[in-house]
Amino acid sequence: MQPPRRRRQEGLIREALYVFLAIAIVMAVLLDGLAIFTAQQDARDDASDAGTEARRAYVETGSVDAAREAAAGLVEANDADLVAFSVSTAGRTGTFTVTVQHHADTYLFKYLAHLPGLDDWVEGVQNPTITRTTD
């Protein structure tokens, strides 16, 4: 028969591993959430900034192609994709609509795509696409 103190110590390593595993999973989930939130915020900011940059280039040059190049350059410099660009040239400054897509690198969230029916949703959440229009 083991003394009472020895019996209490038998599960110490196992419980420490469980606690470590639980903390690691919670941290990975938090990091995934932060990555997704940051990608969405970056897409919003880049779409707004690209529209402003396109407007500035259009006012300076009067060329829609120069405006598109300015917006594309800003978006590509921020590691994003320019999905769509359109302009309505009514007036001197015009109205620019820019659609930008970012990608969020996640640890665990990407594995949800292996569940039936969730692959399109996971793809949309990991690759937020934001459209902004300048007035």
Residue 48, judged by CB atoms within 10 A of its CB (0-12, 13-18, 19+), counts as: middle
- Residue 9: pLDDT band (50, 70, 90) is low
Q: Are 94 and 61 in contact (CB under 8 A)?
A: no
Mean pLDDT in residue range 18-36: 96
User: What is the rounded CA–CA span in Å between residue 56 and residue 117?
Assistant: 43
Domain that holds residue 63: 4-133
Domain count, the chain: 1
Whole-prediction pTM: 0.80
pLDDT at 66 over 70: yes
> What does the pLDDT look like over 114-135, one tens digit per residue?
999 999 999 999 999 999 998 7
SS3 labels along 27-44 = HHHHHHHHHHHHHHHHHH
